[in-house]
């Protein structure tokens, strides 16, 4: 049981555009104070989902609740949400101050309150010196900060961000990820963050919901979706990995044995699996250890040839081949080996993840 307060609840949300099914039966809860990332490839329905939460699109069916209150049919400006759009959508004819102040002005706040709140949010985002600038004279990173300030100033119950760092170069994006995360934590705010970049999702999130073709495949904490994914799609979304399709031969004390060619796998299984069941075993490349000498162990080891090694600075990505020409990806911090060399691999029982589909 999770006793955290629920800020947003989506119940059976579906969205059809003519014949295109953009979203199908989405059920999701977002807790107060958490940053939940919706991660999925282009066209998977991320923007549609965010727009439905913000009220810019209505679902074909299903309900949206914020703090327990039904939001269907409520227009965007009456929802306790604010959205940072993918293209930022700043007002080009207004300067930075007026862009940030816009939402408070249409809410008829006093000029004193507006000034105070613009100052405070500008300080938070380090854009105090830009307030008089035209938004057409800003760099990509600055424009991104202004768009964020314009939404944050409304102090929304839930902030919705649609790939806000998309156009920035890699170095700036990495810096902004950390800064956004720091701001979200310092405000103890509830954010729903959309990205197609799994590394960004890992850096920023409390939990990640993986979206594929309009369906949520899995929702979980970062470590859970990376190390214990439930599907091949989710496993591969977080980077190249190894799969071995095999059948369980026997189980003793919740430890199963399977073979794949010469390899004998031993791994932990839950009690609902039985001998004869088909499973896919997943092992991340960085979990595999390399030895130049034959190993004494008989299980969870493999013998292979190093086919290709790519030096990437902090680590080396290697492709090894087994006798049946299957490739095994291995990531190591060093490269004392030669291509064509016979090597021995081993991994721990707990580094094997059992995937059902």
Binding site for Mg ion (CB under 5 A): 47
> Of the ranges 15-23, 103-111, 284-292, 311-319, which one interacts with ligand ADP (CB under 6 A)?
15-23
- 39 vs 309, beta carbon nearer ligand ADP: 39
What are the respective helix, strand and coil percentages of the chain, to the nearest 5?
Answer: 30, 35, 35
Cα–Cα distance for residue pair 260/256, rounded to 1 Å: 13
Run of H or E residues at 186: helix 170-187
- 40 vs 156, beta carbon nearer ligand ADP: 40
Q: Is 186 in the site for ligand ADP (CB under 6 A)?
A: no
Applying the rule CB under 6 A, the residues between 256 and 295 that interact with ligand ADP are: none
Applying the rule CB under 6 A, the residues between 38 and 77 that interact with ligand ADP are: 40, 42-48
- Residue 22: contacted member of ligand ADP, Mg ion, none (CB under 5 to 8 Å, by partner type): ligand ADP
- 47 vs 353, beta carbon nearer Mg ion: 47
Cα–Cα distance for residue pair 354/143, rounded to 1 Å: 45
CA angle 64, 65, 66 (to 5 degrees): 125
- Residue 44: contacted member of Mg ion, ligand ADP, none (CB under 5 to 8 Å, by partner type): ligand ADP
- Using the rule CB under 6 A, which residue among 5, 20, 70, 178 binds ligand ADP? 20
Length in residues, the chain = 357
- 97 vs 200, beta carbon nearer Mg ion: 200
122 token code pair: 């500008």
Looking at residue 211, the DSSP 8-state letter turns out to be E
Pairing of strands 207-212, 35-39: parallel
Kindly list the residues in this chain that would bind ligand ADP in the complex (CB under 6 A): 17, 20, 22, 40, 42-48
């Amino acid at each position: 049981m999770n006793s955290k307060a629920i800020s947003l609840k989506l119940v059976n949300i579906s969205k059809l555009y003519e014949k295109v099914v953009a979203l199908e039966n989405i059920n999701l809860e977002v807790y107060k104070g958490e940053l939940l990332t919706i991660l999925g490839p282009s066209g998977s329905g991320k923007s549609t989902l965010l727009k439905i939460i913000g009220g810019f699109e209505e679902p074909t069916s299903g309900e949206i609740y914020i703090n327990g209150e039904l939001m269907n049919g409520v227009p965007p400006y009456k929802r306790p949400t604010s959205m940072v759009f993918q293209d930022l959508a700043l007002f080009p004819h207004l300067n930075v101050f007026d862009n940030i102040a816009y939402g408070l002005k249409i809410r008829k706040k006093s000029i004193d309150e507006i000034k105070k709140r613009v100052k405070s949010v500008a300080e938070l985002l380090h854009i105090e010196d830009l307030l008089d600038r035209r938004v057409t004279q800003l760099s990509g990173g600055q424009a991104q900060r202004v768009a964020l300030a314009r939404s944050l100033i409304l102090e929304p119950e839930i902030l919705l961000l649609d790939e806000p760092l998309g156009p920035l170069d890699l170095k700036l994006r990495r810096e902004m990820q950390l800064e956004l995360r720091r701001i979200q934590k310092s405000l103890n705010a509830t954010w729903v963050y959309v990205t197609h970049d799994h590394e960004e999702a890992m850096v920023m999130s409390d939990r990640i919901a993986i979206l594929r073709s309009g369906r949520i495949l899995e929702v979980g904490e970062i470590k859970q979706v990376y190390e214990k994914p439930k599907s091949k799609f989710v496993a591969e979304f977080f980077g190249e990995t190894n799969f071995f399709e095999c059948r369980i031969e026997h189980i003793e004390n919740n430890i199963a044995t399977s073979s794949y060619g010469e390899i004998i796998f031993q791994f932990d299984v839950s009690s609902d699996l039985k001998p004869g069941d088909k499973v896919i075993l997943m092992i991340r490349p960085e979990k595999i250890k390399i030895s130049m000498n034959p190993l004494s162990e008989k299980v969870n080891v493999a013998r292979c040839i190093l086919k290709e090694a790519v030096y990437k600075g902090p680590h080396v990505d290697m492709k090894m081949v087994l006798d049946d020409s299957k490739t095994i990806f291995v990531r190591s911090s060093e490269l004392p080996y030669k291509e064509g060399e016979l090597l021995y691999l081993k991994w721990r029982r707990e580094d094997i993840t059992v995937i059902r589909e």
